[in-house]
Structure 1
Amino acid sequence: MTITPRKWWQDGVVYQIYPASFKDSNGDGIGDIPGIISELDYIRSIGVDIIWICPMYDSPQVDMGYDVRDYENVYPPYGTVQDMEILIAETHARGMRIILDLVVNHTSDQHKWFQESRSSKDSPKRDWYIWRPARYIDGVRKPPNNWLGNFGGSVWQWDDQTQEYYLHLFCPEQPDLNWENEDTRKAIYESAMEFWLERGVDGFRVDTVNMYSKGEMLDAPITDPRSEWQFAGYQYCNGPRMHEFLSEMNAVLEKYDAMTVGECPNTPDMGRVLKYVSAKEKQLNMVFQFDVVDIGQGPYKFQTTPFNWKLPQFKHAIETTQNLIRGNDGWTTVFLENHDQSRSISRFTSDAPEHRVAGGKLLSLMMAALSGTMFIYQGQELGMVNFPLEWSMDEYKDVDSTNYYAMVNERNGGDAEALAAAKAALQHLARDHARVPIPWSASSNAGFSTAKPWMRPNDDYNICNAKQQQSDKNSVLSYWKRMLQLRRHYSDLFVHGDFDLLDKQNLEIFAFTKTWQNRKALVLLNFTARQQELQLPPGAQNQKMELLVSTLDMPGGCLAAYEGRIYMLALD
């Protein structure tokens, strides 16, 4: 059997940084690149190998930087290109690597390419974006199809000047680029990728990676009779030329040994996912599947009630992403949080004061035992939780949250009960929770800034902050450091081993084994706020076992509330 040499990114631990909320260095209330540089030693001390910087490009910030005005410039409140070059050099000097967010499904409507495209129908760049004439029904002007945008409303925006619609899968200020045009693709590779690769960037997290090929753009099936606009994710994701486009993009990246991790929503077919991440296909190194973080979401994300899920669903989602790499040349990812998700302790365990630390440690132990490249989101290592229900809607800054609340208000004529349900769903699932400033200390403004931060820090910063946790051996941060050391020590078993789910239908205990050659580990996770009997699941009974690690210092004869354990099993 030939052993494929491992790539540098496979055993990596990636730490995702949201620049606006990480650390402010100049007292304007907004996080910035010098602030990131000032805490690189902190990041490295966790056990991180790679940092991922969310969009820091010049942008009008309609969607927090995912609307790029200029790929070759930096959003001024964050810093300059020179600041980025210093960050790249300082990251490398510490033995870490750095990846950026690659946002190339769309640009800002202020990007010079779009300004030229919309200037006239005869513009040389007209075809760099997706323009279509109106369709008329009973003499009334209508968009070209019925697709629902990711932030609500139609995906089509009427342009008065040229009398056509342009496509925007996200905000109207985020027009979609036309990947069918070869000149457009070449410009993307040069401006968005090679500009930064030449400056030493080690790869990219690729935003909305499976949306570049749109297919025929036919009407989506009607799944919401109350709306003119219908969910169309299966129409505009994974179109006919996706593999061609990604192979072409990979040819650029290969020259730099750059890593890629693609954001891959609306892709339930694992065969298609595997083709994206197969080494021999040379398209992407890995993707984020959303099976796990979609748990408990409604058909339209927020149309749900908190904790509207059972543990077997969570197990199945993890099993799906773990089995992606079994017996093939693909690779997978391990993550529970990012800039688009609320906090995992609040979603999957309990953020009650008496349970939040235990929940944070439980999820840390679980993630450390799962195969694939691990991604940690800033503040996750501190056990940050969602901000409280009592906060007013004024504290929600994200366009996704405010649009949803406004839509519920409009549909229900301001009904208080409907708005309360909407707010409860937002308090559970909104992206805003990931975007509150990092609490560095118990001092004013959570030690994030000398000025009032752009977004309100969580109220608990006096007890949940980096300074306090660094000196507390029982903190969530200290536990993360311990688990990442353990993961590194047993990397064959935990990063590359085979995952087998045990007792899938158990509603309280999540149990699985990891196997690598002559080593086997049993992982037991109590996902309840109650003590549970320590019963070995079928498939692990009558085996000699030795406790490797627990989330408790002194584990007892039962599994405590939100306790996790890993046992090493003796193989016959």
Structure 2
Amino acid sequence: MVNRSIQLILSILLISLVSCGGSKEKKVENHWPHAGITYEIFVQSFYDSNGDGIGDFNGVTKKLDHVKELGANAIWFMPVMESPSYHKYDVTNYKSVHPDYGTMDDFKSLIAEAHKKDIKIVIDLIINHTSNKHPWFLESQKSRDNPFRDYYVWAQKDTIADFINKKTITLDSDNIRQWHDPGFGEDYYYGFFYGGMPDLNFDNPKVREEIYEIGRFWLEEVGVDGFRLDAAKHIFPDDRPLDNHAFWKEFRDKMTAIKPDIYLVGEVYDKKEIVAPYLPGLPALFNFDFHYTMIESFKKEDGMLLARKQKEVLDFYKEITPDFIDATISSNHDQPRLLNSLDENPKKMKLATNILMTMPGAPYLYYGEEIGMLGKKPDENIREPFLWDMKANDKGRATWINPVYSIDETVTPLAIQKSMSTSYFNHYKEIIKLRNSNRALALGDLELYEGELPGPVMAFFRKHADQEVVVFHNLSDQTIVLDAPEEAGSLLYSYGNAKWEGGNVTLPAYSSLVLEY
């Protein structure tokens, strides 16, 4: 009887050891915000709890365990405030939630439940502009001496005649008109994105105070953990960058006075030289170069293209401030779904996820990518409903839109993927767990592999404290064999039948290998 007990104990101990080298399984850690993972949700399309066809707060609360199981540490919600549009980037009331999503009490309950599961909550804060139906704007239209007139940017038609029909196309807008005629008088108003979104006038101290009060409300009275700042580059026009930088420093000071550990991430669509000066005000910035360069790397089968670009960006940012958060993305609500961008090739998709999770940064994951959802422009079709189960059984699937790309015939729902060992979902879980349980992958510095490499191979080192790893990715459809680093000590991760043996690294098509020193 004693011998059997000893055998049972030994068996349990053996099961608790991982296969690589017999070492103890590493603890999964939460590295948010500097290197944690944030899950982006469009509430409208996530989970419908009351059967009205629209996703809601209670639906998200019901599915918090999905976010937790995936390994994400925070949720970024696309706009949740009152708005006349489906996307809600044109706010009509900054201190309320959209009734389609539920009540403020529902949202507070969601936050409380998320916090119990150690999930932080970040909301979209849209302060560059309001809706043209916002009470401030409706008042501002009434007369030139209305107290709210100076909340927006108004000008007489004859003073802006040369600009009315000027076409301005930027990385984040293909709008052809910035000055808009409200349909009466001789005055026009400025709206960078379109006429339904008039820009606020941040030269007006009253506007800035209004914004700081809105921030205080969501931090103190509602309890969110931070903000994603939409259109951060456009608070002032492009020819006033110093004013933009100064405003965001002031905004950060005001918000940290309310919540010292507030998380702020900014959307500044541009090259690194334009983006970096925003860091003192917005300590986290989205790395759009990461997304575009990764897609380009696959198209060109140039493995080191992204690694070199990332090293260049990180080194440049460090010259501005050593304390920054690189918010890396492989997709979001404005770009085609990742699978569409990668020729709907599942192997490329999984490899792209491996790249995102083995690179430095604080990765963002757009809802639905973990099940291989599809979507192309227009934007509505990049934001289609999440597929929880086959349609006949899916009581929580939103129906506010008739999906074009993500349907049962093209996307395997989550319920089925959970039982498939090779599914997108289980792949995401595995690679996220690897990242969250190896500090070198989450927190380590990036060093490029200096040896000669075949064109399609991406290779780099990640080093943190006493852990160092070397990472290999093959961005081609051909098998590639390399000399293995002599110092490598053990196999940490293999995907796509990649092997390390006999002094060689063998990388089949679209495979990954991580070796630990």
TM-score tier after normalising by the smaller chain length: 0.7 to 0.9
CA deviation vs aligned residue, 1:141-180 (integer Å, no higher than 9, x gap): 8628553472422111123324222111112100111111
Q: Secondary structure at the match of 2:61?
A: helix
Q: Distance in 2 between matches of 1:194 and 1:181?
A: 21
Residue 248 in structure 1 maps to residue 240 in structure 2: no
| Alpha-carbon spacing, 1:141–1:244, altered in 2? closer, same or farther (3 Å) | closer
Q: What corresponds to 2:335 in structure 1? A: 341
Equivalent of residue 37 in structure 1, options 49, 61, 76: 61
- How far does residue 448 in structure 1 lie from its aligned partner after superposition? 4.4
Query: Shift of the alpha carbon at 1:544?
Result: 3.2
Aligned partner of 1:407 in structure 2 is none
Give the alignment of 1:75-474 within 5 angstroms: 75-135=98-158, 143=164, 146-148=167-169, 150-214=173-237, 235=238, 239-254=241-256, 255-256=258-259, 257-269=261-273, 273-277=275-279, 281=280, 283-295=281-293, 307=299, 313-324=305-316, 326=318, 328-347=322-341, 349-352=342-345, 356=346, 358-386=347-375, 401=378, 431-444=379-392, 448-449=396-397, 453-456=401-404, 458-460=406-408, 464-474=412-422
Aligned residue in 1 for 2:4: none
- Cα distance in 1, alignment partners of residues 154 and 445 from structure 2: 47
Change beyond 3 A, Cα 1:192–1:119: farther
- CA 1:461 to 1:20, structure 2 compared with 1: closer, same or farther past 3 Å? farther
Maintained 8 Å contact 1:438/1:457? no
Q: Does 1:485 align with 2:421?
A: no
1:367 CA drift (Å): 1.6
In the TM superposition, residue 560 of structure 1 has moved relative to its aligned partner by: 2.0
Counterpart Cα distance in 2 of 1:242 and 1:458 = 39
Name 1:302's counterpart in structure 2: none
1:409 matched to which residue of 2? Answer: none
Q: Aligned residue for 1:13?
A: 37
Which moved further from structure 2: 77-86 or 110-119? Answer: 77-86
Change (3 A) 1:385 1:550: farther
Question: Which whole-Å CA distance do the structure 1 matches of 2:85 and 2:393 have between them?
Answer: 23
- Aligned equivalent of 2:49, options 22, 25, 49: 25
Q: Distance in 2 between matches of 1:275 and 1:436?
A: 35
What does the per-residue CA deviation read over 1:377-432, in whole Å, with 9 as the maximum and x for residues that have no partner? 10122232346xxxxxxxx6xxxx4xxxxxxxxxxxxxxxxxxxxxxxxxxxxx44
| 2:422 alignment partner, SS class | coil
CA distance in 2 between partners of 1:136 and 1:143 (Å): 10
Post-superposition shift, 1:551? 1.8
| 1:274–1:330 Cα contact (<8 Å) kept | no
Report how far residue 197 of structure 1 moved.
3.9
Do 2:47 and 2:398's aligned partners in 1 also have CA atoms closer than 8 Å? Answer: no
For residues 127 and 450 of structure 1, the distance between their equivalents in structure 2, rounded to whole angstroms, comes to 41
Is 2:511 aligned against 1:519? no
Q: 1:296 to 1:535 in 2, by over 3 A?
A: closer
What's the CA shift for 1:373? 1.6
Q: Give % identity.
A: 28
Describe the superposition over 1:455-476 as per-residue Cα deviations: whole angstroms up to 9, x where unpaired.
4461346752111122223222
CA contact (8 A) 1:105 1:207 kept: yes
Q: Give 2:248's aligned amino acid.
A: L
State the shift of 1:297 in Å.
Answer: 9.6
Q: Which amino acid aligns with 2:269?
A: P
Aligned to 2:490: 546
The letter of the residue matching 1:143 is I
Of 79-88 and 545-554, the range deviating more from structure 2 = 545-554
Kept in 1, the 8 Å contact 2:375–2:383? The answer is no
Instruction: Give the C-alpha shift of residue 449 in structure 1.
Output: 2.9
Indicate conservation of the 8 Å contact 1:158/1:164, yes or no.
Answer: yes
Contact 2:81 2:94 survives alignment (8 Å)? yes
- 1:77 partner letter: D
Pairwise CA distance, 1:212? 1.0
2: distance between equivalents of 1:309 and 1:342? 20
Tell me how far 1:70 sits from its aligned partner. 0.9
CA shift in 2, pair 1:294/1:127, >3 Å: farther
Distance 1:100 1:32, change over 3 A: same
Between the aligned partners of 1:308 and 1:564, the Cα distance in structure 2 is: 18
Do the aligned partners of 2:351 and 2:512 also contact (CA within 8 Å) in 1?
yes
Note closer, same or farther for the CA distance 1:128–1:338 as it changes in structure 2 (3 Å cut).
same
Report the alpha carbon displacement of residue 100 of structure 1 after superposing the two structures with TM: 0.3
Could you tell me which residue of structure 2 aligns to residue 219 of structure 1? none
Taking structure 1 as reference, are residues 244 and 142 closer, same or farther at Cα in structure 2, changes over 3 Å only? closer
**Could you tell me which residue of structure 2 aligns to residue 58 of structure 1?**
82
- Counterpart of 1:485 in 2: which secondary structure? helix
Aligned residues: 476
Q: Residue 193 and residue 105 in structure 1: after superposition, are their counterparts in 2 closer, same or farther (change >3 A)?
A: farther
Q: CA deviation at 1:479?
A: 2.1
* Gap change, CA 1:316 and 1:310, over 3 Å in 2: same
Q: 1:450 to 1:341 in 2, by over 3 A?
A: closer
Q: CA deviation digits over 1:262-288, x for unaligned, max 9?
A: 11112431xx644432xxx4x222101
Report how far residue 108 of structure 1 moved: 0.5
**Matched residue type, 1:191:** I
1:369·1:494 contact (CA, 8 Å) conserved in 2? Answer: yes
TM-score, normalised to structure 2, is: 0.83
The code of the aligned residue for 2:270 comes to N
Q: Distance in 2 between matches of 1:500 and 1:22?
A: 38
Q: Return closer, same or farther for 1:308/1:436 CA change in 2, 3 Å cut-off.
A: farther
Distance 1:145 1:463, change over 3 A: closer
The RMSD of aligned alpha carbons is 3.0
Distance 1:178 1:451, change over 3 A: closer
Residue type matched to 2:263 in 1? M
**Secondary structure of 1:205 counterpart:** strand
* 1:422 aligned residue: none
Q: Give, in angstroms, the shift of residue 508 of structure 1.
A: 1.5
